[in-house]
Amino acid sequence: MLLVHSEIMLSVMIPVKMQEQLEKLSDVRGKTISFLAAEAIGNYLSVQSQISALDNALEKESVEHINFIGEKDLLDWLNNLASYNEKEMLKGKA
């Protein structure tokens, strides 16, 4: 009978400082370093998947309803940062 594993072995080079942190965390959590590494990779992939989904949604979103300001208005605003004029300029752009 042939057993098929749904896991693979992965070898990764990490800095010594990171290994020391993993060892401490392993002791505190009572988990193996392999478990913690797999958990971290899984969390990273989950976040990246969510970012990718958001990027795709934004690419499909129409930008017609977004109000952009022109280069001159942007430069005027930047030149007046933290001044009274900045607040007055923003009132007119809302």
The residues, any chain, with a CB within 8 Å of residue 80's CB and separated by 6 or more, are 86, 89
Domain spans of the chain, in order of start? 22-61+68-93
CA distance 71 to 75: 6
The two tokens of residue 79 are 């030149």
CA distance 17 to 1: 43
For 14, the 3-state DSSP assignment is coil
**What confidence score (pLDDT) does residue 2 get?**
62
pLDDT digits (tens, 9 = 90+) for 16-47: 999 999 999 999 999 999 999 999 999 999 99
Its pTM stands at 0.55
The answer to whether the CB of 47 falls within 8 A of the CB of 37 is no
